[in-house]
Amino acid sequence: MATAAPEPAAPEPAAMSAEPAAGIGSGNGITGDFYCNWALDLTVASGKAMARLQQGQTCMSTGGCSDFTWTGRSFDFTADDSAHGALDAKIDATYKDYTDQVTLKNTGKTVCLPKATTTPATGSCTLTVKGPLVKE
């Protein structure tokens, strides 16, 4: 008897930092790096810098037998000086998981089902990252 598939773990960002970061990029100049390279708008006033997410950004990734779609809700980065800042980010995620739980149960191996022949387990969540940042 098949059982419901558990929510898949989010994949580690491929070729990106596993920790939130902001840095100089191309185009508008600032990117936030967490599961996607998020384009940010930079403002500087009274000695403080703020970078805010440009709306409408989405990216996709694959991890194991799961497809993920990431949608930036917010990515607010502030800095009081060159060594201290804060991040308040919310990223919506949806997934489709093609793992065959029966195969896992019988063989102990993860097997991805052909995407065209199965209805995947699906779900969604919001990833929240909030807190101080310190340059090391």
User: What confidence tens digit (pLDDT) does each residue in 56-86 have?
Assistant: 999 999 888 889 999 999 989 888 877 888 9
Grade residue 9 by pLDDT with cuts at 50, 70 and 90: low
pTM over 0.85: no
Residue that the structure tokens 């194991």 belong to:
64
- Determine contact, residues 123/95, Cβ cutoff 8 Å: yes
Secondary structure of the chain in HEC code, one letter for each residue: CCCCCCCCCCCCCCCCCCCCEEEECCCCCEEEECCCEEEEEEEEECCEEEEEECCCCEEEEEECCEEEEEEEEEEEEEECCCCEEEEEEEEEEEEEECECHHHHHHHCCCCECCHHHCCCEEEEEEEEEEEEEECC
> Where are the domains positioned within the chain?
21-134
Long-range pairs for 23-28 at CB < 8 Å and ≥24 separation? Answer: 28/54
pLDDT beyond 90 at 18: no
